[in-house]
Each structure stands twice: as structure tokens, then as C-alpha cells.
Amino acid sequence: MNPHPLPTPGTPPEPAPLRKIAIEEHFWDPAKTSNDFAAMAQVSGVSEEFLEAALTRMRDFTTIRLDEMDASGIDVSVLSLTASGIEGMRDRDRAITAARHVNNFLAERIRESGGRYEGFASVPLQDTDAAIAELDRAVRDLGMRGVLVNGYVDIGDDEHAHYLDEPRFDAFWEALEELGVPLYLHPRPSSEVVRDALYRGRPELSGATWGFAPETATHALRLVFGGVFDRHPRAQLILGHMGETLPFFQWRIQRAFEYNPYDSRPSKRLQDYLADNIHVTTSGHFSSQALITALLTMGADRVLFATDYPYDVSTDAARWIEGAPISETDRRKIAHSNAEKLLGLSPATVSAS
């Protein structure tokens, strides 16, 4: 007992609810069989029980998803087709038809949701012209806020993975610039060759544990050092999982790059592309240390809230960002206002900020 107690302090007002827009939230097209999903799951090193729960959640748009959004105080979820999506379909015609179907399906769910859902388009990059046409339709006619690409693209019988720094995709980047919408680069499992070389005997490391991050970070570095943002300076890329390690590693990458003997060099430093062309989200990475690294590297205007539903727990994401050791100004930017600006969403009429 303190012998000289101070008067009991008053109780400050409760903070207003933090408006949240979550932008890496996945769905599974119920019209499709789950064969591809099962294969992807196997290489992701998660249990069947986990997969079943994820699949049930991904197919739902009216009950579980909204309950979890409500419990997390998430006002709007920006939905996207889960990996490996259209990118994993080798057949060009099948990819074109599927992308159209998925976008129409998503547009219908958005329309029914009364403002709770927005969406990223899926596009058939197996055919660049068809991908541009579908992007245009999805953004202009269906109101999609950008596009989400699940990693590299499989094309026909070609056994090589196609990454988006290839010249064949230049016209697609140009279309993104013209429409003024971002591209969300989402992980998919590395190709079998890579998995066999790196993770043989250790499949538990090949998925979200670790393998997704180097796969996706390498893809992003191919874009940067392949000159995509020099050719398309207005293009905006979004990376999940707090930037797939890049905010932490950027200094060393640039340092070591300067020793390389090759001719191809972008016009700026990696740090500059991170500041000019790249955003990161908090999806599936609710670590304050990682958040602070991202903030110190990229600034608060380029970090956005996301949960990675249903692969991670929305309430954990929400409680974490509500209490993360950052300023209220940055918290509000991350939770909602950066997404409003980048994706062209209207601010809430009644908002906490």
C-alpha cells in the first residue's frame, strides 16, 4: 500500500473504432473443383484440417466472412482469387474464360454486399492482349480496384515460369499505368524444380513458413532490376507479408548489386523504387518489429492493412494494428486512408478520422 497515494485519475474516453480496410482477403470460386487447391495445399505444408477450414471460409460470402469482419472491426474487405489462380492455368483459352467468369462472379458478390466488399481483378496473362482487355473490362465496367497476380505465369507447354519483367508483359504494365490501378503481387508455391532443389525433405519450409517470401521477393526484384519501373514509372506494385522481406534486406541487396559485372542497370536505387513504386501490406505478418522496419524503409504512406483471410486470423490482425506502437496518424493511414487513396475508395462518411 502506498502511504502517500495520489488522487485516482479520471478515465479517458474510449478511442473511436479504427476504420479498417483489409486488402489481401481471398475467395475461392465455388464453380471450380478443388483439385488445384489440394495440390497447392500439399506443397504449402499445412494440415488437411486447416485446409478444410480455409476452403469453407473462402467459399462463404454471407456468414463466416462477415462475422469475422465484424469481430475485427473491418469495414471493407478487398477480395481476390486465391493462388494459384488464373496464373496456374496453362491453357490460354481456359485462362481467358476462367478470368472472365471469376471477375463476373466477384462483381456479383461485391454488388450484393452493400459496400462491405471490393475486389481485385484476375487476368489471363497467358495472352497479354486478352489480359489487357479483361483488365480494362474489370476496372471500367465491373469496378475492380486493381489486379492481383498470383506469382509467375504458366504458359502452354513451356516448362519455364514466366515472370512479369519479360518484355511480353510490357503492354500490360502500360495498361495498368493508363488505368491508374495497382498490381498486387501475391505468392504462389515455387516451381517443382525450385522446390526439389531447396526444400527436398523439408516440405514444411516451402510454403508460407518461408518459401513464399523468397519466391515473391525474387519476382519483385526481377521487376526492379529488370527496369519495369523505369519503363513504367507510374506503375504501382503491392507486396503482402510486410514486403516479403525486402524492407529488411534492401540495403544489402543494393550493396551487393553494385559488384555485379553485368550491363543491365536500373536508373535508381532499390530504396527509391520502394519509395516510388511499391507498397507493402501487413497480411499474415502481425509483427511490430517488422512493421517498424517497413515504416522506417518506406514511410507510413506505403504500408497498408491486410489480414490474409482465411489463411490467417482477422481478429489477431485487427487487435495487433489497434495496439501497435506507432502514432495515431500512421495507424489511421495504415488501417484505411492509404487504401482509400491507392484504390480510389471513398472515405467513410462517418469515420474515426
CB-nearer residue toward Zn ion: 124 or 284: 284
Query: Is residue 154 within the footprint of Zn ion (CB under 5 A)?
Result: no
Give CA–CA dist 197/192, Å, rounded: 8
211: nearest Cα among 189, 244, 240, 196: 189
- Smallest distance, Zn ion to C-beta of residue 351, A: 27
- Smallest distance, Zn ion to C-beta of residue 57, A: 13
Using CB under 5 A, which of the segments 42-50, 153-161, 243-251, 306-314 binds Zn ion? 306-314
Q: Binding residue for Zn ion (CB under 5 A) from 87, 244, 308, 312?
A: 308
Sheet containing 74-81, strands listed edge to edge, beginning at the edge strand earlier in sequence: 20-27, 74-81, 117-119
Give CA–CA dist 184/220, Å, rounded: 11
Question: What DSSP assignment string belongs to 83-105?
Answer: TTTGGG---HHHHHHHHHHHHHH
- Smallest distance, Zn ion to C-beta of residue 24, A: 5
Lookup: cell for 79: 477480395
Using CB under 5 A, which of the segments 23-31, 196-204, 258-266, 317-325 binds Zn ion? 23-31
State the pairing for strand pair 303-304/183-186. Answer: unpaired
Lookup: cell for 4: 502517500
- Smallest distance, Zn ion to C-beta of residue 80, A: 8
CB-nearer residue toward Zn ion: 266 or 284: 284
CB-nearer residue toward Zn ion: 130 or 213: 213
Residue 308 falls in the annotated catalytic set: yes
Beta bridge partners of 150: 186
Using CB under 5 A, which of the segments 37-45, 126-134, 302-310, 328-336 binds Zn ion? 302-310
Beta bridge partners of 74: 20
DSSP state of 204: G
Q: Catalytic pick from 75, 154, 165, 308?
A: 308
**Binding string, residues 253-292; x marks residues near Zn ion by CB under 5 A:** ----------------------------------------
Is residue 80 within 8 Å of 121, Cβ to Cβ?
no
- Smallest distance, Zn ion to C-beta of residue 236, A: 18
Contact set with Zn ion (CB under 5 A): 24, 308
Active site residues: 308
